[in-house]
């Protein structure tokens, strides 16, 4: 917790030594600016955020695993043309128009609601007639199925969609299939609504496949469409398990990869989206397959070929064929409907605003924990004088809001939860400013050591058991995180850390819910920043106190080897690192009483 120097006699003497330096408020302000700059540096550049993304993402994966709804999965099907299917069907790459036509004909028999073809027919092929393909598309359309074709990203081709001539444009809707870039090891996390990143309002802008199909179903207008942050669902698909090899790496392999690289090094082998191969589709007609997986569903027809590119890296699965990106985005739109998670908001980047607020909260807490300035103690101490009746009323309001959020479906969930969150922020700030330091007794020291070892051993055994049964994400969420919390609460006795983390998680939940609708936040990075900066501030405080102790012992500038001016500047600089102030000592007893 705090350094032993905090409450010893040196502090009083140091305080006297710094009395000519910057005032407590100046020191707090400078420390605030320094922490804000450090935070901005670590979060914006290739730093803490980037390195901790896999851990945060793994926790998000685990939460999604247990909370993501089945709605989208039930209504989506990927039909995959696999590399091995080429040999089975005596086909070659690129697949002939006739074969594509055959697949679309088979789909007509199975009566889907919509079909997106993730093959772009750009170039004319010598010796191949495109008419059968065009006829198959039109016949699919004539049977009431909406057909979407991948447009070419190349501009200036015939028809504005970049596709080859000979395809009947009245039978399909061209869609933009441009993929967003990857976000570090997490892979692709965003999905455009249309070709443009800023606005989809112009009617001539092509939609992306997921938005083109889902927009009329869920009521998204061109003006409301925004870039999406994809939540990669990871529910089990019984259809996929019936034919795919879904066996994951062993528990010990997970543990080794997690320790050696990161928790995302070992990913899931089977996709979330229900999938069949073209061989399934072209084989014997299967009524069960039709009724349970194809009829009335949206079909994403794509390919998986060696040396052809078109792979998508996701935070949950090993690399998948690109068509799964569109299927997952569509799944998100059906699941969250108009409350799909936004990557960025119109004009103003709400995502950055929320990140900034989280950083601000973390910095304010950093300034208050361990050695709060006297003015903060005075301000937050007054909260302790609030009447018990008001306190209970606030508590009831907070609990009421949480219950309302849990049991009602409204588009204002985030607003409801904001009330308990803000009350929680005030409570934690009060706790940080007034909580007295406690030195552990000898008995407590031994007991903490024993407890720490027990928690570590228990967590390890539980990790292996949970990982074997539910996967590595679940082990992280259900064992590692609670284990660390228990350690911090019982062994390190760092209640503030636990309270801060809970609040940060609460803030992430609020920003996820409607009407804010942002994607998951990297909470692990904020918590790590809190811990690292706290450690740095303690070190700086300790160094400054040692400096002033030496200054007192050797006041002559000659013994420091510098001039009086330099030494004065050094005094000022080290004084900025000091935390707390003179009043801290005088008000110590008061603070204890208030706490």
Partner 1 sequence: MTRRLGRWRRAVGVGLVLAAAGAVSPPAPRAEDGPPQSFNIVGLRMNKVTLYRECAMDKGVSISRDDVEKRKPWRATSDPKTSVYYWVKMDGVDYCVKAFAVETDRVVPVAKDEECRTRVAGRPPKTGAVRGVGENCN
Q: Which residues bind partner 1 (CB under 8 A)?
A: 80, 82, 84, 88-90, 93-94, 96, 98-99, 102, 105-106, 108-109, 126, 240, 243-245, 267-271, 275, 277, 279-285, 304-309, 311, 317-321
Instruction: Name the token pair of 399.
Output: 């609990």
| Alpha carbon 391 to its chain's center | 34
* Helix, coil or strand: residue 277: strand
- In the complex, minimum distance from the CB of residue 262 to partner 1, in angstroms, rounded to a whole number: 16
Which lies closer to partner 1 via its Cβ, residue 128 or residue 439? 128
- In the complex, minimum distance from the CB of residue 63 to partner 1, in angstroms, rounded to a whole number: 21
- In the complex, minimum distance from the CB of residue 308 to partner 1, in angstroms, rounded to a whole number: 5
Which lies closer to partner 1 via its Cβ, residue 275 or residue 355? 275
Q: State the Cα–Cα distance between residues 264 and 324, nearest whole angstrom.
A: 19
**Cβ atoms within 10 Å of 11's Cβ, excluding its own:** 20
- In the complex, minimum distance from the CB of residue 319 to partner 1, in angstroms, rounded to a whole number: 5
> Torsions phi, psi of 116, nearest 5?
-110, 125
Instruction: Name the token pair of 258.
Output: 């997690």
Instruction: Name the token pair of 593.
Output: 């009483």
- In the complex, minimum distance from the CB of residue 60 to partner 1, in angstroms, rounded to a whole number: 19
Residue 47, CA atoms < 13 Å, CB-side half-sphere: 14
Which lies closer to partner 1 via its Cβ, residue 154 or residue 446? 154
Which lies closer to partner 1 via its Cβ, residue 271 or residue 580? 271
- In the complex, minimum distance from the CB of residue 340 to partner 1, in angstroms, rounded to a whole number: 24
Instruction: Name the token pair of 546.
Output: 């040692």
Which lies closer to partner 1 via its Cβ, residue 66 or residue 93? 93
Under 8 Å CB-to-CB from 329, ≥6 apart: which residues? Answer: 191, 208, 209, 210, 211, 228, 230
> Torsions phi, psi of 391, nearest 5?
-60, -45
Q: State the Cα–Cα distance between residues 50 and 580, nearest whole angstrom.
A: 33
- In the complex, minimum distance from the CB of residue 290 to partner 1, in angstroms, rounded to a whole number: 10
- In the complex, minimum distance from the CB of residue 96 to partner 1, in angstroms, rounded to a whole number: 8
- In the complex, minimum distance from the CB of residue 147 to partner 1, in angstroms, rounded to a whole number: 17
CA angle 457, 531, 423 (to 5 degrees): 105
- In the complex, minimum distance from the CB of residue 151 to partner 1, in angstroms, rounded to a whole number: 21
- In the complex, minimum distance from the CB of residue 242 to partner 1, in angstroms, rounded to a whole number: 8
Which lies closer to partner 1 via its Cβ, residue 82 or residue 488? 82
Q: Which of 213, 207, 176, 184 is nearest to 332 (CA)?
A: 213
Residue 495, class by beta-carbon neighbours within 10 Å (0-12 exposed, 13-18 middle, 19+ buried)? middle
> Torsions phi, psi of 304, nearest 5?
-135, 95
Confirm if 212 and 175 have CB atoms less than 8 A apart: yes
Q: State the Cα–Cα distance between residues 351 and 521, nearest whole angstrom.
A: 9
190-191 and 228-229 as β-strands: parallel, antiparallel, unpaired?
antiparallel
Which lies closer to partner 1 via its Cβ, residue 91 or residue 339? 91
* Helix, coil or strand: residue 186: helix
Which lies closer to partner 1 via its Cβ, residue 195 or residue 267? 267
Which lies closer to partner 1 via its Cβ, residue 293 or residue 517? 293
- In the complex, minimum distance from the CB of residue 256 to partner 1, in angstroms, rounded to a whole number: 18
Which lies closer to partner 1 via its Cβ, residue 211 or residue 324? 324
Which lies closer to partner 1 via its Cβ, residue 244 or residue 383? 244
> Torsions phi, psi of 492, nearest 5?
-80, -15
* Helix, coil or strand: residue 69: coil
Instruction: Name the token pair of 274.
Output: 């229900």
Q: State the Cα–Cα distance between residues 455 and 462, nearest whole angstrom.
A: 10
Q: Which of 526, 510, 529 is nearest to 518 (CA)?
A: 510
Which lies closer to partner 1 via its Cβ, residue 8 or residue 84? 84
């Amino acid at each position: 917790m705090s350094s032993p120097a905090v409450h010893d006699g040196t502090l009083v003497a140091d305080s006297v030594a710094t009395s000519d330096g910057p005032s407590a408020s100046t020191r707090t302000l400078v420390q605030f600016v320094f922490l804000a700059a450090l935070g901005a540096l670590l979060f914006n550049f290739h730093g803490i955020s980037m390195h901790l993304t896999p851990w945060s993402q793994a926790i998000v994966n685990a939460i999604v695993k247990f909370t993501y709804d089945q709605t989208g999965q039930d209504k989506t099907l990927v039909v995959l043309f696999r590399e091995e299917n080429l040999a089975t069907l005596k086909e070659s790459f690129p697949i002939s128009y006739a074969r594509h036509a055959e697949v679309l004909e088979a789909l007509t028999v199975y009566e889907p609601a919509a079909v997106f073809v993730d093959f772009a027919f750009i170039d004319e092929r010598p010796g191949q007639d495109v008419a059968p393909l065009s006829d198959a598309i039109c016949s699919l359309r004539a049977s009431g199925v909406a057909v979407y074709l991948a447009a070419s990203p190349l501009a200036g081709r015939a028809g504005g969609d970049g596709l080859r001539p000979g395809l009947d444009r009245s039978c399909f809707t061209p869609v933009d299939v441009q993929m967003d870039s990857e976000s570090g090891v997490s892979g692709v996390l965003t999905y455009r609504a249309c070709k443009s990143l800023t606005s989809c309002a112009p009617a001539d802008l092509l939609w992306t496949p997921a938005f083109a199909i889902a927009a009329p179903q869920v009521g998204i207008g061109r003006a409301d469409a925004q870039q999406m942050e994809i939540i990669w669902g990871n529910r089990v698909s019984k259809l996929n398990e019936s034919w795919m090899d879904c066996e994951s790496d062993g528990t010990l392999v997970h543990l080794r990869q997690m320790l050696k690289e990161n928790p995302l090094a070992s990913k899931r082998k089977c996709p979330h989206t229900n999938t069949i191969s073209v061989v399934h589709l072209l084989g014997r007609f299967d009524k069960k397959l039709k009724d349970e997986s194809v009829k009335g569903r949206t079909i994403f027809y794509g390919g998986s070929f060696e040396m052809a590119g078109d792979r998508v890296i996701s935070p949950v699965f090993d690399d998948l064929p690109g068509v799964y990106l569109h299927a997952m985005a569509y799944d998100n739109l059906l699941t969250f409907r108009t409350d799909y998670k936004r990557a960025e908001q119109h004009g103003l980047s709400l995502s950055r605003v929320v990140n900034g607020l989280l950083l601000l909260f973390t910095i304010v807490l950093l300034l208050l924990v361990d050695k709060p300035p006297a003015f903060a103690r005075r301000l937050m101490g007054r909260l302790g004088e609030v009447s018990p009746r008001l306190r209970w009323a606030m508590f009831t309001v907070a609990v009421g809001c949480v219950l309302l959020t849990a049991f009602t479906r409204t588009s204002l969930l985030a607003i409801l939860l904001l009330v308990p969150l803000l009350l929680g922020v005030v409570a934690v700030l009060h706790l940080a400013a007034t909580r007295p330091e406690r030195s552990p007794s000898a008995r407590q020291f031994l007991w903490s050591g024993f407890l720490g070892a027990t928690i570590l051993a228990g967590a390890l055994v539980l990790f292996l058991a949970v990982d074997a049964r539910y996967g590595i994400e679940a082990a992280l969420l259900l064992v590692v995180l609670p284990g660390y919390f228990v350690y911090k609460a019982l062994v390190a006795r760092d209640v503030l850390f636990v309270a801060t983390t809970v609040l940060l998680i609460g803030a992430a939940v609020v920003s996820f819910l409607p009407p804010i609708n942002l994607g998951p936040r990297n909470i692990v990075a904020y918590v790590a920043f809190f811990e690292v900066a706290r450690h740095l501030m303690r070190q700086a405080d300790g160094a400054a106190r040692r400096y002033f102790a030496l200054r007192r012992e050797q006041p002559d500038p000659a013994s420091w080897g510098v001039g009086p001016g330099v030494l004065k500047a050094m005094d000022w600089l080290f004084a900025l690192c000091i935390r707390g102030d003179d009043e801290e000592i005088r008000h110590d007893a008061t603070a204890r009483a208030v706490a």
